[in-house]
Amino acid sequence: MRLLALALHRLLWFVPTLLGLLVVTFVISRVIPADPVALVAGETATPAQVEELRRQLGYDRALPVQFGEYAWRLVRGDMGTSIFTRRPIVEDLAHRLPATIELTVVAMVVSVLVGIPLGVFSALWRNSVLDHALRVVTVSGLAIASFWLGIMLQLLFAMRLGWTPLNGRLQGFPPSPITGFYLVDAALTADWRTLGAALMHLALPAATLAFPALATLVRFTRAGVLDVMQSNFVLYQRAMGLPRTLIVWKYMLRSALTSTVTQIGLLFGILLAGAVVTEAVFDWPGIGTYAVNSILRSDYNAVMGFTVWAGAVFIVVNLLVDVAQTLVDPRERPSN
């Protein structure tokens, strides 16, 4: 019941926050540029044509009216049309969403499966060689520019060693589109060669994206485990001779993870952000490149669409994180 109350509370804030976001982006896209319509019309358009276009697009009306109409359309699921692709933006986003999600999920999975155990070992064998090595990784993970890391990985693994393809999501034909996720579709249709190829294409971008996430996870898991190691219940279990594996991987980890769960949720949001730049480096056909291209092409509607989508995702992720936090630590049922 409390959970429901929390969810509702969050959803209530969802709307004003999203609205605020819309206002900000709207203002940016309509007010600041000298003349967005002229940009759209192109360089060869005559002033008369520009005016005609302005009337057509509705840019001649008062700003609040324009905003109201945009918001109304948005509620009905219409984000407008991309000036560049001439398709509904919702369609563009939906088309590119699976690529970004696949990349982000793979990066997330890798960083969790590798990062959490490494964090545990780092704490258990404090000040060992492994711990110091991991400290280096952790610190550098947040200091390396993602796009540079991606380029360096390309340099080494794709160009010099030739182990992985250089960029893109896949060469040749994609597997039958069941879900839009190449890995899933290839597995479902037993298309093993495509599955392998898709994995190879995913390798570098996922590694680039996962690196800072992994660094953060190792750091927080380590801190969490170190903290838990001092607990009285750990002392009790040791006194009663319970096997070390049980104490560490069932009890200590569970307690240490209560803070890590929040981190994972936040990381997902940060990963989606990092995906923007990483996708640009690897020519990954996802929402990130769409956003960057739209921005560079002054396709403001598309930029708005992307911002709305990104904002919504962030807010939903935060909500899920709060819910997950409550589930993981049953003592922490929030009372707001």
Distance (Å, rounded) from C-alpha 232 to C-alpha 191? 52
Instruction: Select from 13-21, 50-58, 90-98, 196-204 the region that touches other proteins (CB under 8 A).
Output: 13-21
Indicate whether 82 belongs to the interface with other proteins (CB under 8 A): no
Binds other proteins (CB under 8 A): choice among 38, 45, 114, 144:
144
Alpha carbon 317 to its chain centroid, in Å, reads: 10
- For the record, the structure tokens of 172 come out as 């040749």
CB of 195 to other proteins, least distance (A): 28
CA angle 256, 264, 322 (to 5 degrees): 85
- For 190-305, strand residue ranges (E) read none
**Closer by beta carbon to other proteins, 95 or else 126:** 126
Residue with Cβ nearer other proteins (178 or 327): 327
Q: Under the criterion CB under 8 A, does residue 225 sit at the interface with other proteins?
A: no
From CA 145, how far away is CA 222, in angstroms rounded? 24
Question: In whole angstroms, how close is the CB of 308 to other proteins at the nearest point?
Answer: 9
Residues pairing with 81 in the sheet: 88
Other Cβ atoms less than 10 A from the Cβ of 68: the count is 12
Closest separation in Å from C-beta 172 to other proteins: 24
- Contact between 322 and 10 under an 8 Å Cβ cutoff? The reply is yes
Q: Where are the beta strands (DSSP E) in 255-323?
A: none
**Residue 247 CB neighbour total at 10 angstroms:** 18
Compare residues 7 and 188 and give the one whose CB is closer to other proteins. 7
* Segment lying near other proteins (by CB under 8 A), choices 3-11, 42-50, 169-177, 257-265: 257-265
Residue 280: CB partners within 8 Å, gap ≥ 6?
A: 147, 288, 289, 292
Annotate each residue in 14-33 with x if it binds other proteins (CB under 8 A) or - if it does not, as one string: --xxx-xx--xx--xx--xx
User: Among residue numbers 234 through 253, which ones bind other proteins (CB under 8 A)?
Assistant: 235-236, 238-243, 245-246, 250-251
59 neighbors 66 (Cβ within 8 angstroms): yes
**Which residue number, 186 or 287, has a Cβ lying nearer to other proteins?**
287
Strand partners, 88: 81
The Cα–Cα gap between 297 and 85 comes to 11
The region of 52-60, 139-147, 168-176, 193-201 touching other proteins under the rule CB under 8 A is 139-147
Q: Tell me whether residue 195 or residue 267 sits nearer to other proteins (CB atom).
A: 267
User: How far is residue 257's CA from residue 11's CA, in Å, rounded to a whole number?
Assistant: 26
Instruction: Compose the 156-195 pattern: x for residues touching other proteins by CB under 8 A, - for all others.
Output: ---xx-----------------------------------
Pull the structure tokens for residue 269: 């949001």
CB 139, min distance to other proteins, A: 6
Task: Name the token pair of 28.
Answer: 């940016």
- Residue for token digits 């160009």? 159
- The single residue among 63, 94, 145, 178 that binds other proteins, judged by CB under 8 A, is 145
Our CB check for other proteins shows the closer of 79 and 277 to be 277
Residue 227 in the binding site for other proteins (CB under 8 A): yes
Pick the stretch among 54-62, 65-73, 77-85, 136-144 that binds other proteins (CB under 8 A): 136-144
Q: Of residues 272-311, which lie at the interface with other proteins (CB under 8 A)?
A: 272-274, 276-277, 280, 291-292, 295-296, 298, 303, 306-307, 310-311
SS3 309: helix
